Amino acid sequence: MYKVLLVDDEVFVRKGLQKLIRWEQFKCTLVGEAKNGGEALEMIHRLEPDLVITDIMMPVLDGLELIRSVKEESRVDPEFIIISGYNDFKYAQQAIRYGVKDYILKPIDVKELGATLERLAQTIAKKRLSALTKTDYSISSILDLMLHEEMGEKDAERYAEVLGMEGESGFLYVWAQFQTMPGQPPVRLKELQEWMSGWEGAGAAIPILEHAPGQFGILWSIRELNRWGNGIPQALEAVRSLISSRLNQELLFCAGDMVDSLASVKRSYAGANEALKHRFAEEDKRVILIGQVKDKALHIYDMDSNLSDRLMVHLEENNKEACRSMIDKMFQSFRNQRYTPAAVVLSLTRFMTRVMGVIKQMHGSDDGQRRMLEEMETEVQTWSVQRLREHFTVMVLEAAGYVAQLRKEQSKGDIEKIKKHIDSHYSENINLKSIAAHFYMNPAYLGQLFRKTYGIYFNEYLLQVRVEEAKKLLRQTDLRMYEIAERVGIPVANYFVTQFEKIEQCSPLEYRNKLVKKE
């Protein structure tokens, strides 16, 4: 695949290009995006893209200066396409001097850009072939070309010569996927190449392609594999075990079918990709051969809604043990029904999206859950099933605790509203049942929550508020008892007197007379 870097100071342009263009159709993959020329220059040195699509007018370093800097100073030699909102001949003329392949005006015509990408794919392929040497970089490039280009027998012979595989008559493409532990840096290409090239008795360097950090494609000759054991399964296990032990990381091998010629290596590569889809269903195996699993049907859809619904209930109830038990059942279901890794991630992502929706409804922040979800989606390719299960369990338990906290804060907010409602409506005919109905709550639950929050029963608090207001009226007015009783929400005068005496240990009249005597 050809590596593409997007450079534009407008984030919507970058995101639009990502979504509008079917990059894989042009044998391209996006390796990064930069918001200015200075950032792009550093990324070009680091990522070594085959193609840079850049705007002209940008901060720090404009597009033309970026191209000039790369052409004059950098060891990397990518192709360039300019996209610009400026239909200025001077810019186009300068771009041509720098060897820019196309100058496309905004708004971008998808068909025009697609046609340019199609032409450039051929240019880049020819450039790679013309630059073939025996360096590690070129060997990876050749292997990448072999997996994605149509190749005849004559081309295969040329590739075999460059790869040091002349005369070989059997080949096997193997996915080597290191399964990293938390905090463990992924294995990189140079590290793997240096160690494998030093094997005792090894012939030419074994071609290795780094698909991503910790994910490699290895092209084995059958002759080389036969040095490690009798038969492909035993040989692959011996190699896998040695690499895993030497680099101190768990390793999974997924192999395609053996092919007779390099011209057919794409078929072995396709089989290795298919075998990789079985890695969760075959989680106990460290070597998966496509011949062993190709007849086993894979599940590629979302999980049973019954499982996710039950887990959601346990999460909202903050029942952590039930959550753990349900997660175990989910992962057992994934294995039994042979879910692909993509289907597992889809199921877990959809569930966490539901959880984040609940958190948003409760006016919480889903930043923590979103961060862990992004980590899972980004890193899952190098995770074992066990690590994925552990990560998802942490996500669910943290969310359960957070939802419980939000519910507590929400309840506290509701009970404070209820208390204020009592303070301002005490003179009305209110009681626990009517207040509960007003706030859409269960009366028994409201009574318990009120007492837990304020240390007093609802009815006692309402009576205290009414008596305090009655005392105020007794101090400040000469209203009669029945009038005061009505004003504080107790329309029966005798009952008012009884309730007043319960709180103040004297009648309302005695309370007023005490005030008169003090004067």
pLDDT tens digits, the chain, 519 residues: what are they?
789 999 998 888 888 888 888 888 887 889 999 999 899 999 998 888 989 999 888 888 888 888 888 888 767 888 898 888 877 666 767 777 777 878 888 888 888 888 888 888 767 766 665 655 444 445 777 788 788 777 778 778 777 777 778 778 899 999 999 988 887 888 888 888 877 766 654 444 688 888 888 899 999 999 888 888 889 999 999 999 999 998 889 999 999 999 999 889 999 999 999 999 999 999 999 999 999 999 999 987 777 788 899 999 999 989 999 999 999 999 999 999 999 998 999 899 999 999 999 888 877 888 888 889 888 888 888 888 999 999 999 999 999 999 888 877 766 667 788 888 888 999 998 998 988 888 777 788 888 888 888 889 999 999 999 999 999 999 889 899 999 999 999 989 999 999 999 999 999 999 888 877 665
The H or E element containing residue 255 is: strand 250-255
Structure token digits, residue 158: 């040329």
CA-closest candidate to residue 354, choices 320, 326, 395: 395
What are the φ and ψ backbone dihedral angles of 28, each rounded to 5 degrees?
Answer: -120, 150
Assign 3-class secondary structure to 308-327. HHHHHHHHHCCCHHHHHHHH
CA-closest candidate to residue 3, choices 144, 135, 119, 114: 144
CA-closest candidate to residue 103, choices 7, 69, 112, 58: 112
484 contacts 470 by C-beta, under 8 angstroms: yes
The H or E element containing residue 485 is: helix 481-487
For residue 77, give the amino acid letter: D
The H or E element containing residue 374 is: helix 367-379
Measured CA to CA in angstroms, residue 369 lies from 125, 307, 365 at distances of 42, 20, 9
407 contacts 364 by C-beta, under 8 angstroms: no
Sign of the Cα pseudo-torsion (404, 410, 416, 419, in order): negative
330 contacts 393 by C-beta, under 8 angstroms: no
Enumerate the β-bridge partners of residue 219: 173
pTM: 0.58
HSE, side-chain direction, 13 A CA sphere, residue 362: 23
Enumerate the β-bridge partners of residue 254: 175, 288
Q: What is the dihedral of CA 86, 88, 93, 94, to 10 degrees?
A: -50
